[in-house]
Amino acid sequence: MDDSSILSRTEKLRRELEVIEQQEREYRTHAHRSLSEKAEHDRRELRVLAIREELRMLIERAKQQSSHGHVWYS
């Protein structure tokens, strides 16, 4: 994976996290939640964990590439 694809994927994941955070803010403002809303909330929580893990791996990969002569900026 080259530097531009790492940066592109990182930005895409960060935008997705922003959307999820907005959805979670809306979810928390509703006092009465349906089962489907609770299920969506649970899916978002799992997705956030997956995104964080992927971001961690992308950062690690970028560090490895930079130590091998490639330059990547966050």
- The pTM assigned to this predicted structure is 0.78
Contact 3, 62 (CB under 8 A): yes
Residue 34 is given by DSSP the state: -
- Is 70 a residue whose pLDDT tops 60? no
pLDDT tier, 68 (very low <50, low <70, confident <90, very high otherwise)? low
How much is the average pLDDT of 7-12?
94
Residue 15 has pLDDT above 90, yes or no: yes
Contact 33, 27 (CB under 8 A): yes
The torsion angles phi and psi of 62, rounded to 5 degrees, stand at: -65, -40
Phi, psi of 56 (to 5 degrees): -60, -45
Q: Could you tell me the sign of the dihedral formed by the alpha carbons of 6, 7, 8, 11, in that order?
A: positive
